[in-house]
Amino acid sequence: MTLQEKDPIIANLIDEEENRQIRHIELIASENFVSQAVLQATGSVLTNKYAEGYPGARYYGGCEVVDKVESLAQERLKQLFGVEYANKPKLIIAGASSYSRFVHFKEFYQIAQEVGAYLMCDIAHIAGPIVAGLHPTPVGCSHFITSTTHKTLRGPRGGIIMMGKDFENWQGVKTLQGRVKKTSELVNSAVIPGTQGGPLLHVIAAKAVAFKEALSLEFKRYQKQVLANAKHMAKVFSDLGYRVVSGGTDNHLFCLDLRSKAITGRDAEKKLNQVGITLNKNAIPFDTTSPFVTSGIRIGTPAMTTRGLKEIDMEKVANLIHEVLECQEEKRLTRIKQEIGEWMQGFPMPD
């Protein structure tokens, strides 16, 4: 029985969301469009299997196939980033969600070494450019690396924990036999059973598919286009008289300071969404407004680059955003919404 037959309400809502994604210009930096292969893995029969524990050490039987799936995902992840481990101490965290410049992880690592601290680098937003060689990597200059698997990696929604190299834990935690545990063992036990029970094997399979896609030359070309689109779009906004926070971008996103435009980030987000341009309000450095209001907006290019938009298209998007923010005529806003919906039909979702 199909979903439409079983639950037409949910089926219709899914169709409604798919239509929204097709007709809207998606500029939320933390969103992307997965391939049909990733979607297929996410919706596979692997969702039926309960597999608490790790490959080869499950609490349940019948895990011989899903063990292969999870192990393959781990191996592809290690190959993708070039790491050995995927999954009184002090901790320094290096990461950001709206920072448009390079993160120099080596400098963070030097500080961590000086003060005797662990360094955890969160690369949730910049994992894609990193594996494509377009951003400095934390591998080799951090103790732990965390990331999401969606955003610029273009996989299913989820997370990963990695270590460039394994090492004995600094706390001296030992096994019952007296052996000092490797840090990876502590990470594993902190995840399962510490915070997680049965993993989502269908999502792990989809991650493996996404990691394979990210190992391709096409993915590197895609990441280059993501950055080219962001740089060009930031320049267009600058030419239009907007202040781009930090003066530009080295990655897939940037923030606009709207204080000179007499509109808040919240109102800009709402107004743009009404015409089919989706982005988010965002605080800017030294913002004096509430984080629920903000003085800026954040713009990202990964999702629309996936759909095939190039620099000339992003220039059009920037000009549309400018026109909408300046426009006070409801009829013109309605026409813009129709124009955007028709324009987006020419950029198919990924196959």
**What positions carry a catalytic annotation?**
50, 52, 122, 148, 151, 157
Residue given tokens 């007296």 in the structure block: 178
The helix/strand/coil state of 107 is helix
Dist CA 20 CA 43 (whole Å): 21
Who contacts 151 (Cβ-Cβ below 8 Å, separation ≥6)? 29, 30, 31, 32, 124, 125, 127, 128, 302
Closest of 256, 275, 295, 249 to residue 337, by C-alpha: 275
DSSP code at position 295: S
Cα–Cα separations (whole angstroms), residue 245 to 272, 304, 311: 20, 21, 20
138: cis peptide before it, omega within 30°? Answer: no
Contacts 24+ apart (CB under 8 A), 338-343: 340/23, 340/24, 340/25, 340/275, 340/276, 340/277, 341/23, 341/276
Who contacts 147 (Cβ-Cβ below 8 Å, separation ≥6)? 122, 123, 124, 127, 153, 159, 160, 162
Dist CA 147 CA 161 (whole Å): 7
- Gap between the terminal Cα atoms of the chain: 25
CB 84 within 8 A of CB 78: yes
With DSSP H G I counted as helix, E B as strand and the rest as coil, what are the percentages for the chain, rounded to 5? Answer: 45, 15, 40
The helix/strand/coil state of 132 is coil
CA-derived radius of gyration, the chain: 22
